[in-house]
A and B are shown apart, each in its own frame.
Chain A
Amino acid sequence: MIFNSLEFFLFLFVVFMLYWLTLKKSIKGQNILLLISSYIFYGWWDWRFLFLILLSTIVDYYIGITIYKNEKQKVRKSWLWVSVLFNLGLLGFFKYYNFFVDSWIDMFSLLGYNIKSTWTLNIILPVGISFYTFQTMSYSFDIYYKKLKPTNNFLAFAAFVSFFPQLVAGPIERASNLLHQIIGKRTFSYNQCVGGLKLILWGLFKKMVIADSLGPIVDDIFTNYASYSASTLILGAIFFSFQIYGDFSGYSDIAIGTAKLFGIELKSNFKFPYFSRNIAEFWVRWHTSLSDWFRYYVYIPLGGSRETKLISIRNIAIVFLISGLWHGANWTYLFWGAFHAIAFVPIFLLGKNSKYKNSIIGENTILPSINEVLRMVMVFSIVTFSWVFFRSATIADAFSYIFRVFTEFTFHSYIHPKGFRMIDYYILIALFVVYEYLIRRDERAPFNFKSKYVRFVAYAIVVLCLLLFYDSSIDRSFIYFQF
């Protein structure tokens, strides 16, 4: 069940009504409802996936209690490893098995040995497995590091693991933020609910207007890149930057908004990343729940930046490479991660990785300074360049794409694959950037205008755009579901 579907809104309405009207006074009842509805939501894709999530829930629930009960560090560590190996084992089997087998065979064929692959399997990748396995692992880690007491409430824990708004594409929640909200009492708040609905509307706009309308153009350019000139290839990469941002941040907004309807606050996942002034700031603003996860559970345990510069650089490289591989079993993602590591290291060595951590562009002014604009354009260019690796089907395609950008430097006006006016999309993107700039102070309040008339005009324009760019013939699934 995807967020931008009729069945989801019918489902959401029914669950919302039951949650607040019939089960208002019973936390247990509400949690049972959340669990059942989350399992229905997830099973809608394929009911067989439910066994995996249930297994992951049971294993981490008991491991959490076992780690907590044991005083001996060695035993605690062993149980933590059981949790890590179990979750990574699931992930490894379903997501990476074929990739490693194929890569192994490719390596042998490079050395002149032709091996026929009889080891690859026809495995279906369970939706969102990378998200919920990381979430359950964080629970075991937090207990191991004594930052969290395990819960004895299996129902609440199961609801935490499978909480449907963020189950399949995040934000990846740490138990310390989400679990206590599920265990505790929720009260209906009008403002929270309205805030949730606004985020859902804005998320739908980002997904259905920005991402979905750019999708066919991006698909066309990346599929037929060999026949396009540099100007079109650059356009394809820029449009993909907006497509993936609209798609993923749109999903996150709908997830956060939906959780708000149930009185639960999820972490922000995107904080206007394309308004970053260096790559480090970009990573504070892009997919923050995953960045936080890697910082807490990989980077800091490896020594973070407490050791020598060389070890710190090694740690940065490891985090970015794992982050790349997390996205998918393909060399393209690994290159994407490596590219970001290379872009990040100079900022780190200059000691500027925290420079923009707590500020935004145009902090005290209406317009950004020229310096800020130039920095922003530079970061956007670097990130857009990196997306070519991310979007290409193979690493060879990515390099060919980039090679053509530099060797076929001619300008050709691009024609939409369906013949639509391209000017509509240029105007759309320009207005989107301007609007995002206007709301840049709070990613959780996309309609935060003092005047209710201005707010209403904004709602009306967003709804109108949903109609103006509606296309019944396109695939509406979210890009990050494949991860």
Chain B
Amino acid sequence: MKKIFFKGAFYSLLIVIVLELVIRGFHLTKDYPVRIIDENKVEKWQPNQNGFSVTGNRRQNFSEFRINNLGFNSHREFTPSKEKKEIALVGDSYIEGFHQDYQYSIGKKIENELTDFEVYEYAYAGYDFADELNLIHQYKKDFNLIDYVFIDLKFNTDLKRGEYAVIPDRMNLETPFYRNIRKFKLLVYLNSIGITGDLKTRFRELIALKIKPDRIVSNKSKPEDNDKINPKYLANFNQLIETYNFDKSRFVLLLEKRNTPNAFKNYLKANNFKYIDLTEVLEQSKAPTTLVYDRHWNDNGRALVASAIVNYTKHLELEN
């Protein structure tokens, strides 16, 4: 009896070591860049890091990221000046685009079309509207030099708060405990493919004497919800706009139907906010516009978004 436990433990250990080596050797899991909160209380990545972002059990999506000297994923450094023409893209993971090589980012695609512009991607996974406006405010010296600022806004998820504060939960991932755990690539891999999450959930359910596992509830929003406007979110929007002196002449919102009600678009129109509705270009595409594993834009989706921004910029240039 002892022998079976001893040998079982020994073999398990060997297999864990082999799996760790295989995952490292074949780069089956993602690298975690280090997060920081800078002197302006802005959460971003620690400057000058490189790594790879991996999605799926079998490396179905593999891309390189490059954090520049300001702390954002981009192929370039951000050096705004009065002499040059610049566009800033401010947003979350959709704009940040870890799931695509940084050389093919939305910014790069725009620069390929608008050759006299430099595009700066101030994006960070998890940013909401408060994060975005606070960032613009904190870096106002730079932003005042930038010609056009495109801000990604998802009404249903980005307006849950009306004032900015650092979110401590995300920064907990930078404690020594989590940093050390992330050194075990096998654990990172198990976590990324959902095994640890599934086991934790089921274990909790069993402790709570739930015999049957909870069914996965679809989080697809119903079409009829699309036109309803949450008054709290609208109040938060207005509060943030007021706090940070939203510049209606240079700032353009990027919206999508799947997370923004039509009523909000009407509200923006009535109040002279500039915005691009990406819905039409994305929906008209015959090829898929999102990734296999999640709803982030794939290369095609990002190209369409870039082209929509290019067209709008040309329109703004003509206006000016």
Contact = CB atoms under 8 A, between A and B. Distances in A.
Contact of B195 (A5, A194, A472, A473): A472
Contacts of A10: 206
A420 B3 contact: no
Q: Which of A456, A460, A473 counts the most B-chain CB atoms under 10 A from its CB?
A: A460
B22 to A, nearest CB: 6
B19 A188 contact: no
Contacts of A421: 58, 60
Contact of A467 (B14, B189, B197): B189
Contact of B14 (A420, A424, A456): A456
Contacts of A112: none
A470 B57 contact: yes
A464 B22 contact: yes
Contacts of A7: 202, 206
B318 interface: no
Contacts of A467: 19, 57, 189-190, 193, 195
A424 B57 CA distance: 11
B195 A470 contact: yes
Nearest to B56: A420
B216 A6 contact: no
Contacts of B216: 473
A20 B197 CA distance: 33
A190 interface: yes
Interface in B208-234: 211, 216
Contacts of A459: 11, 15
A372 B217 CA distance: 50
Contacts, number: 62
A188 B1 contact: yes
Most buried by B among A6, A470, A473: A6
Contact of B202 (A5, A193, A468): A5
Interface in B42-85: 56-58, 60
Contacts of A468: 57-58
Contacts of B190: 467
B194 A44 contact: no
Interface in B181-217: 189-190, 193-195, 197-199, 202-203, 206, 211, 216
Q: How large is the interface on B (under 10, 10 to 19, 20 to 34, 35 or more residues)?
A: 20 to 34
A471 B195 CA distance: 9
A467 B187 CA distance: 12
Contacts of A20: 1
A418 B206 CA distance: 30
Interface in A137-195: 188, 190, 193-194
A190 B8 CA distance: 12
A350 B292 CA distance: 53
Interface in A2-32: 5-7, 10, 20-21
A470 B193 contact: yes
B30 to A, nearest CB: 15
A419 interface: yes
Nearest to A197: B8
Interface string B1-26: 10110011001001100110010000
A36 interface: no
A6 B193 contact: no
Nearest to A457: B18
B126 interface: no
6 tightest A-B CB contacts, nearest first = A419-B292, A472-B194, A460-B18, A6-B202, A472-B198, A468-B57
6 contacts: A10-B206, A188-B1, A419-B292, A459-B11, A469-B58, A472-B193
Given A190-B4, A469-B58, 12 more contacts: A6-B203, A7-B206, A10-B206, A420-B58, A424-B58, A460-B15, A460-B18, A460-B19, A464-B22, A470-B57, A470-B194, A472-B197
